[in-house]
Chain A
Amino acid sequence: MSNFSQKIKPALIIILVAAVIGILYNLVSPKGIGLVGSWSQQILEGNIIVPPSYDKTSDSPPISLADAMSLYNSPNIIFIDARTKEDYLKGHIKGALNLYMEEYDTWAPKVLPNVPKEATIVTYCGADECELSLFLARNMNVDGYKNLKIFFGGWEEWVKAGLPTSTGENP
């Protein structure tokens, strides 16, 4: 037993030293984060679940599955899938364009020339856990799109509801 505790002690010291270095580094690093973050999902009016990083005051409005469905059938609506090309090819909302959010600067010049500024845009990604749709809406807002909506339920809710989907390169 004492032999085992002799092995545990240095392991605990390593964890302690790592904690001290980590916290100090985090304090001085420009990319440092708060020691305690806000990590609970928010539930907005209409039972719409949005990620912790969603800001009610400045972000584009979130829409529910029912909103997304009724918008889907109205004119001048463009759905944009913010996930990777790989995910998009496997399956996406029928008619949606693909603009992978993590590489916005390379994708936007290819995709956005076909998207009129006055169109209503619905961004979506995997499910309400995912933030790509939120960040895409933020970027597009900066690029002059003002009629943006975020469908946080995303691909997962859409598929569960049995709504129109498509695979491969075809929108």
Chain B
Amino acid sequence: MKFLKNILLSKHLALLFRLFLGILFIYASVDKILHPAAFAKIVYNFHILPGFLINLFAIILPWVEFLLGVFLVLGIALDSVALLASTLLGVFIIALGVNLIRGLDINCGCFSTAPATKSSVSKRLIEDVIFLAMSLQVWKCHQGFLTLKNLFYKP
């Protein structure tokens, strides 16, 4: 049991999660950056934001994801970055959850803006909960292991 706990809270697992989440955030952002109109439509489909904020959100969010991804991979300001990633994932979970309860059939737009790749809301929700758990693990357990700062700066 203690062995399992040691693994779950290890900085090595945090590194693995960090790289995985980083690449995931970058991957998820690229399609949205390339197709802002399609992503804005998806944001609209969620029926959560007021109309005047939809485009602005669709323009900014993908870049937040992209920067988060790059910072996670490189290990820059990890405490803040992991916190922001967790907050963002929490917001996605709430947005998906609200629409699951509402029964709205929406294309989540987590990875792609093409309706052909639409997947069920609940599946996305479960994925995001797993990603959130990973992100919180990174936040709590990274210990600065193999981060840009610690690679070049030895106190």
Binding site for B on A (CB under 8 A): 7-11, 14-15, 17-19, 21-23, 25-26, 29, 31-40, 52, 84, 100, 102-103, 126-127, 129, 131-132
Pairs across A and B, CB under 8 Å, 20 listed: A7-B79, A10-B77, A10-B80, A11-B83, A11-B87, A14-B64, A18-B60, A18-B66, A18-B67, A21-B67, A22-B60, A22-B62, A23-B59, A31-B37, A33-B55, A34-B55, A35-B56, A39-B52, A102-B116, A103-B116
Q: Are the C-beta atoms of B67 and A37 separated by less than 8 Å?
A: no
Given A33-B36, A35-B55, A36-B55, are A84 and B115 also a contact pair (CB < 8 Å)? yes
Interchain CA distance A23-B56 in the complex, whole Å: 8
Interchain CA distance A49-B121 in the complex, whole Å: 25
Q: Are the C-beta atoms of A14 and B81 separated by less than 8 Å?
A: yes
Q: Which of B62-110 contact A (CB under 8 A)?
A: 62-64, 66-68, 71, 77, 79-81, 83-84, 87, 105
What's the nearest-Cβ distance from chain A to residue B124, in Å?
17
Query: CB-CB < 8 A to B81: which residues of A?
Result: 10-11, 14
What's the nearest-Cβ distance from chain B to residue A156, in Å?
9
Q: Are the C-beta atoms of A11 and B84 separated by less than 8 Å?
A: yes
Q: Are the C-beta atoms of B51 and A11 separated by less than 8 Å?
A: no
The one of B55, B62, B79 in contact with A37, judged by C-beta atoms closer than 8 angstroms, is B55
Query: CB-CB < 8 A to B66: which residues of A?
Result: 18
Interchain CA distance A23-B62 in the complex, whole Å: 11
Contact with A along B21-54 (1 / 0, CB 8 A): 0000000000001111100110011000001101
Interchain CA distance A23-B67 in the complex, whole Å: 15
What's the nearest-Cβ distance from chain A to residue B74, in Å?
13
Query: CB-CB < 8 A to B40: which residues of A?
Result: 33, 37
Query: CB-CB < 8 A to A100: which residues of B?
Result: 116
B15 at the interface (CB under 8 A from A): no
B114 at the interface (CB under 8 A from A): yes
Interchain CA distance A158-B71 in the complex, whole Å: 49
Query: CB-CB < 8 A to B14: which residues of A?
Result: none
Given A22-B63, A39-B44, are A33 and B79 also a contact pair (CB < 8 Å)? no
What's the nearest-Cβ distance from chain A to residue B138, in Å?
13
The one of A14, A22, A31, A129 in contact with B45, judged by C-beta atoms closer than 8 angstroms, is A129
B58 at the interface (CB under 8 A from A): yes
Interchain CA distance A8-B84 in the complex, whole Å: 8
Interchain CA distance A15-B59 in the complex, whole Å: 12
The one of B36, B51, B62, B79 in contact with A40, judged by C-beta atoms closer than 8 angstroms, is B51
Interchain CA distance A25-B60 in the complex, whole Å: 10
Task: Closest B residue to A127 by CB, please name it.
Answer: B105
Q: Are the C-beta atoms of B52 and A36 separated by less than 8 Å?
A: yes
Query: CB-CB < 8 A to B35: which residues of A?
Result: 31
Q: Are the C-beta atoms of A7 and B80 separated by less than 8 Å?
A: yes
What's the nearest-Cβ distance from chain B to residue A86, in Å?
9
